[in-house]
Amino acid sequence: MSAFFRPQPRDSGSQEGGVLCLCLTEDTVEKDLSILEKYGAFADALELRVDCLAPAERGQAGALLRHTHLPVILAVRRTKDGGRFEGGEPERTALLDRLCAERFSFVDLEEDLAAPDLERAAQSKGCRIIRSLYDASGVPQDLAARLRRLARNPRELPKAAVYVAGTAELLSLLEVFSRTRGMEKILLGTGETGICTRILAYPLGSSLCYSTMTKSPDLPGHEDPRTLVELYRFRAIGENTAVFGVTGNPVSHSLSPLIHNRGFAALGIDGVYLPFPADDIGRMLQAARVLGVRGLSVTVPHKEAVLAFLSKTDALVKAVGACNTVLWDSCLEAWKGTNTDVEGFLAPLRGLYGGGILKGLRATVVGSGGAAKAVVYALAGQGADILVLGRTPDRARALAQTAKGRWAILDDSAFSLMESYSDLIVQTTPIGMDPHPEMDPIPGYRFRGREIVYDLVYTTSMTRMLSRAREAGCRIIEGKQMLLAQAYPQFELFCGRTYPGLDA
């Protein structure tokens, strides 16, 4: 636990892991108090963002202290640091000086702020200084050195919050964590790619993890405290917690953390499953090693590209040409891969057919990526006659040839051809996912009511395509059914335990 933040023991016993700080960012003290009342039970400390308050409210910020026993950080963030205070420095330092007299536990002051009178006044009132730097443009090359120089005396706590623009910058930030190991500090990566540095704050060596209930442009990628505590089990994450996750681009929508973390909790497994957004799968696997990740679910668009970084794959991966599950092999000191998509795809289909899939099924597969490869392989193994529709001719042709099937470009001319391959229609592309859930991959195809329509998209309960199919009288299979069917064997591969009987 941080030497700076020592939260009081809770009903469940004393906390040994990370410290969770709830940022209060409303425009009135009353609204901040409402957030505190609802979600303060999840927090160990608070940060009051006075710059977010309306100007008329800022002078009354100290009133919040009478409503909490938690340590409170006072912050008046400048616009250049991602805050909302637009006044000059004399006005800001005067406000900070006035509020420090209210007995805040900490005050956040920037590395370039020269205000010795304010600093002496704060320290005389028992208000400790967090000396901070912010960079919304990326991870500075000299961040480790700057972090070491930040604190001006042993009573100050250095803090750096930097934007993680992509997987390469995540690696850079993890190197900073490594180079400052053992140093008392607050260090976090903002943005979606930096989420792992916040959830894993304690094992990485950061004194705080920040959270907020307000989706705000100056707090990109922050999770709310309930999600951190209940979904990611933040308080249970320790030095020896096994780390797993899902990697792809995007993955913020993924239901996989809910599935796997519920399984860990039900079985009492010391593990956590995170989203790892990745624009480069090779660098993501490097970052995963630094973080000690033991296994990853691999999703769009990396199911094929990941193969180049695996030292060992099983026969199924070789046959399919795509991988959705990678595991760290401590004996090989390398990543190995398998594929649970094939059986995950077939399981709901078998259920619809009552256990067996009809021979001679004529099926259309929409898409030609890694997910489509698993679907085509699975259907070909059941003796299906397959039509592949894709926007990239070479990929569609090559995939169809693996099943001795037909192929066509996915455009208006393909819809009449689909009618001869319409016993089953499988949609494998990201079309229909956020941020465009209203899109339909086959808008010109007219369902006749006899088709089975299967959409692998699971982010919405009913995609536009499935909705049209159901209205026409078709039997449908939603993507969540496949998600669960492929996740259960992944869970067993990750932790060696059968997934518990939960309604995920």
Query: Which of the residues are catalytic?
Result: 303
Number of residues that make up the chain:
504
Pairing of the two strands 325-329 and 293-298? antiparallel
> Using CB atoms within 10 A of its CB, is residue 202 exposed (0-12), middle (13-18) or buried (19+)?
buried
3-state secondary structure 334-383: EEEEECCHHHHHHHHHHHHHCCCCCCCCEEEEECCCHHHHHHHHHHHHCC
Closest C-alpha to 231, from 291, 201, 273: 273
Instruction: Decide: helix, strand or coil at residue 106.
Output: strand
Q: Which strand ranges, in their side-by-side order, compose the sheet holding 452-455?
A: 406-409, 385-390, 362-366, 424-427, 452-455, 475-477
DSSP H or E run through 487? helix 479-495
- Contact call for residues 494 and 295 (beta carbons, < 8 A): yes
Instruction: Decide: helix, strand or coil at residue 297.
Output: strand
3-state secondary structure 131-189: EEEEECCCCCCCHHHHHHHHCCCCCCEEEEEEECCCHHHHHHHHHHHHHCCCCCCEEEE
Question: What six digits make up the tokens of 503?
Answer: 């309604």
User: How far apart, in Å, are the Cα atoms of 442 and each of 193, 425, 453?
Assistant: 32, 10, 12
Cα(91)–Cα(115) distance, integer angstroms: 12
**What's the start-to-end Cα distance of the chain, in Å?**
33
Reduced to 3 DSSP states, what percent helix, strand and coil does the chain have, rounded to the nearest 5? 40, 20, 40
